[in-house]
Structure formats: structure tokens, C-alpha cells
Amino acid sequence: MPKPFVHRAVNDFVLPRFFFRSDQQKVKGWINNSLNKKWKEFRLKLWHEAEDPLLSKEDIIKNAPEGIPMDQGALYVNYLFKEKTKALCLRNQRIRGQQTLPHTSGAMSLARRRDLMKKMGKEVDRGKVWTETHKRKDGSYVNDQARDIGERIEEIRRQRPENLAEISPNDALGVVFGPEHPGRVRGLGMGAVPTVVFKQTSRRGGCSYMGSSSASAPPPQWVQVMANMRSQLNALTSLFQMTIGNIPEEFAHLFPTPAQAPNLGDGVPSPTRPRRSFDKSGENDS
């Protein structure tokens, strides 16, 4: 979709009417993705209404739907009749046929699906949304693979009923499918990314996440690193007390143990006792 149109739609129609807590660049990005999706769906709808194998290209252009300018309709029809476009359509059709887990949500977005499930009194965690969108109207799964995955999700949901409301990499959907792609989060729809939803920093090309919002225990290597740092801090604190003395009160809260005054009887110099000078003038005076 042309960028000037998106900017005009955002600045002239959206921002004056709505208040957003998020950054405006993120808002514009979401609106751009939403408009592109709706534009694509509308173009496909127009083509399905106008397509007729018995009509020539010129006849289809003449029968442009109401409200569509003739010149714009002609450009769109000419684009669809190009050999390159036909080859792309066949390729996409072949790819769609290879999908092993088709959903039954249709054109309804996941946000609308979640809202509808809430109104029906259903739970709307990621696992439940996935199972609902992979079942037919009679309640059966779309195929055997979807049924196996759905049963695993439901089993994990039953084992962790207290964590259903938590969206994390360790919820039922995350356990079954594994790490998320950096550009999307399953079950949450358009615009959701792991760095925002899970408050994580992801590394493209890898599966490592940091700063997960879940309550899972940290990895063993992190525990060892923290233990080493704690030992080093304790050693530095002891060295500070032995060489300088009491830790000032304004810095005491930064150390793991309360600051204690050194024992003057063990040979450690007092912080208030004047130190002997070791320069030449001191030697001459002595």
C-alpha cells in the first residue's frame, strides 16, 4: 500500500480520534499492517466477484464493480492477467495445499476470536485459542495431527490450571511448539512479537531468550555466575574493611553484609589514626 496513503490515514483519521499509550511509530506500523491485510482481502473479494472464465479481459474491465473507477479496475485486471501473476498465484496455491495444520478461523482475526470467546464465557489463553481455531463446528479437529497437538495442549492446561492466564514461552502452546519466531507470537494475532509480549531479547537465527516473564528457574549456568559474583563481592567487601575501615552509611546498602568496624587489636590501622609518611622529608625528620 502506498506510504503517503498510510500516513494520511494515520495523521488525518486515526490519531485525531484515538489515544494510544504506545509509541506512535509502533502504532503506525500496526495500522500499516492492518490496512495492508484488509486491502489484500478486499482486492481478492473484488476479483472473486468479477472473475468469469467465460468473459474476456476487456469484458471483465467493463463490468467493474460499483464504486471502483474504471482506470483503477483496468490496472488491477491487467495485473491479474499477467503470466508472472498467474505463476505466483499457482505457487501460493501449491504452498497452501502443503499446510498440514489448516485453521478454521477463516477471515476472522485472532483478536476478534478471543473477544468472541470471552463473550461466550470461554477461557482465552493461547492454548485454548489454538484448539478452538483448529476444530470444526461439530467439535472435531481438522485432522489427526491437529488432534494429537490439541490433546497435548489440553493435557498441559489441565496440569497447570493456575498458569492459564500467563502468556509466556512456557505455557501450553510454548511447550508443545517450542520457541517462537522473532516476528510473531502464536495465538495472539498480528503485531505481537516475543520482545514485547514476553519482555525478552531475541536473537535472530537462534532460539535463545532472556528476561522471560515466566516464573521458571534460571538456567544452571546463570546460578553459577551469580554465585561467583556474590563471592567476589564478599571478598571485596572484606578487603575494603581491612584496608580502609568502616563503610560509609550512605554506601552500606550496596554491600551484602553490614559494615563492621575493624578490631584495632589485630594490627589493622584505624581509619582515624594518622598514617606515617614515607617520603624523604619524613625520613629526615625522624
What lies within 8 Å, CB to CB, of 189 at 6+ separation is: 109, 110, 111, 114
Q: Which segment of 19-23, 49-53, 279-283 scores lowest on mean pLDDT?
A: 279-283
- DSSP per-residue letters across 39-73: HHHHHHHHHHHH--TTS-HHHHHHTPPTTS-HHHH
Give the model confidence (pLDDT) of 154-177 as tens digits. 998 888 887 777 788 888 888 888
Give the model confidence (pLDDT) of 25-55 as tens digits. 777 777 887 888 888 888 888 888 778 888 8
What lies within 8 Å, CB to CB, of 188 at 6+ separation is: 110, 126, 167, 197
**How confident is residue 151, by pLDDT bands cut at 50, 70 and 90?**
very high
Calpha distance 128→60 (Å, rounded): 44
Calpha distance 256→72 (Å, rounded): 72
What lies within 8 Å, CB to CB, of 78 at 6+ separation is: 57
